[in-house]
């Protein structure tokens, strides 16, 4: 037997018989890939979000194909029009209610958070002050205004320095205009940035869902020919896992939204619709999302009294028990069976590395990593059967 040839009939990893030059090139290429991924992390995660939308649209198109026998393009068009119509209808008929309740909820949560801070301060626990967006400390602003007025009165020309202000240079005038338009410009820039991200995600999702096989085959062509069947199976496994996870997650989010909305409406807590909506959306982020939703629900319930807060907390606990011990084990067992501690640790790592994008997309990223580890490492390298 030639030295260095792996023994295939023995269990365990089989190292490849690479030359030192090939091994060095592989290590350098891997490090360069990591550096590229680190520098372009936000863009890569944005692309991954678009692929997720494409997987979702592809799943709906496949389901519609079981009902009607139209071509893929027509089915994707129908799915896109239905989703676009539902989104537009929600924005037109429910957008005003959501915005109003969201504004009231923000004020209520800020006020109740301040009350909780004051109560904790009585017990010697000092927390940072809470303030609504745009609020500043009134006393400090008043003192600053008085000081500025006094300084202006001391300047030549009288009447608060009106004469000196009238002969400002054009540069100072442009600077003042920039200081006035600065917040507005920041808001506009943020809106355009968010809209641009949404458009990129939608475009990538539609493009991937239109012909997913071509993108898969294009990626497989970069793989050596004798590995292409395995690469095709790997990509198909990723897509299937993401489809199952997405549909299960959407069902879970919808159930949480309806249950929280119904329970808080029954208790007479204001803003039940927006509270249920934010709880359903935050359920997309496991562990951390439900915790944030629960804090907001309890703070909103405090505005109606202690009994209402306890009732809201009870509704939150019942829904979380239903989600943790009923929906998730039943729906997500086939798609993603990862222990909660592993999910939380993965969220922490991805959140530290990539920020909010990493936290939001932690679970689908871990689903992809799990498929890769099962098929490439456990099955192909260790020659063991992955647990189903």
pLDDT digits (tens, 9 = 90+) for 334-360: 667 777 788 888 888 888 888 888 888
Residue 160: the pLDDT is 45
Helices (H), the chain: 20-39, 41-65, 72-89, 95-122, 138-154, 162-166, 170-210, 212-220, 228-267, 272-282, 288-302, 306-322, 328-331, 340-354, 356-360, 362-372
Mean pLDDT of the chain: 76
Q: How far apart are CA 290 and CA 259, in angstroms?
A: 14
Q: How far apart are CA 385 and CA 388, in angstroms?
A: 9
Give percent of the chain above pLDDT 70: 73
Model confidence at 297, pLDDT cuts 50, 70, 90, reads: confident
- Weakest-pLDDT range from 260-264, 284-288, 367-371: 284-288
Model confidence at 194, pLDDT cuts 50, 70, 90, reads: confident
pLDDT at 224 > cutoff 80: yes
Instruction: Please provide residue 174's backbone torsions phi and psi, each rounded to the nearest 5 degrees.
Output: -65, -35
Q: How far apart are CA 115 and CA 303, in angstroms?
A: 10
Q: How far apart are CA 255 and CA 327, in angstroms?
A: 9
pLDDT at 290 > cutoff 90: no
């Amino acid at each position: 037997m030639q030295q260095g040839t792996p023994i295939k009939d023995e269990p365990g990893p089989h190292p490849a018989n690479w030359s030192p030059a090939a091994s060095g090139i592989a290590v350098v290429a891997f490090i360069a890939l990591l550096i590229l991924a680190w520098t372009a992390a936000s863009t890569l995660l944005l692309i991954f979000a678009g692929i997720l939308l494409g997987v979702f649209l592809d799943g709906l198109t496949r389901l519609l194909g079981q009902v009607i026998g139209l071509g893929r393009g027509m089915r994707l068009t129908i799915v896109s029009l239905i989703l676009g119509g539902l989104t537009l209808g929600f924005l037109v008929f429910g957008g005003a209610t959501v915005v109003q309740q969201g504004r009231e909820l923000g004020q209520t949560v800020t006020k109740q958070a301040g009350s909780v801070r004051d109560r904790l301060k009585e017990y010697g626990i000092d927390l940072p002050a809470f303030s609504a967006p745009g609020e500043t400390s009134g006393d400090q602003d008043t003192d600053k205004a008085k000081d500025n007025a006094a300084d202006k009165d001391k300047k030549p020309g009288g009447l608060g320095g009106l004469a000196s202000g009238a002969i400002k240079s054009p540069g100072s005038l442009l600077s003042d205009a920039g200081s006035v338009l600065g917040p507005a410009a920041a808001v506009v820039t943020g809106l355009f940035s968010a809209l641009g991200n949404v458009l990129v995600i939608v475009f990538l999702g539609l493009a991937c869902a239109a012909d997913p096989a071509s993108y898969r085959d294009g990626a497989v062509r970069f793989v050596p020919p004798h590995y292409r069947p395995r690469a095709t199976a790997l990509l198909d496994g990723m897509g299937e896992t993401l489809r199952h996870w997405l549909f299960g997650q959407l069902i879970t989010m919808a159930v949480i939204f309806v249950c929280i909305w119904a329970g808080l409406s029954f208790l007479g807590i204001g803003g039940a619709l927006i509270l249920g909506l934010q709880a359903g959306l935050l359920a997309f982020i496991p562990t951390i999302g439900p915790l944030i939703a629960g804090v907001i629900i309890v703070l909103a319930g405090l505005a109606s009294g202690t009994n209402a807060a306890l009732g809201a907390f009870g509704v939150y606990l019942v829904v979380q028990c239903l989600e943790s011990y009923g929906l998730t084990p039943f729906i997500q067992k086939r798609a993603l069976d990862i222990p909660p501690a592993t999910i939380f640790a993965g969220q922490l790592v991805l959140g530290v590395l990539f920020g909010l994008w990493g936290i939001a997309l932690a679970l689908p990223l871990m689903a992809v990593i799990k498929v890769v580890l099962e098929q490439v490492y456990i099955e192909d390298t260790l020659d063991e059967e992955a647990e189903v």
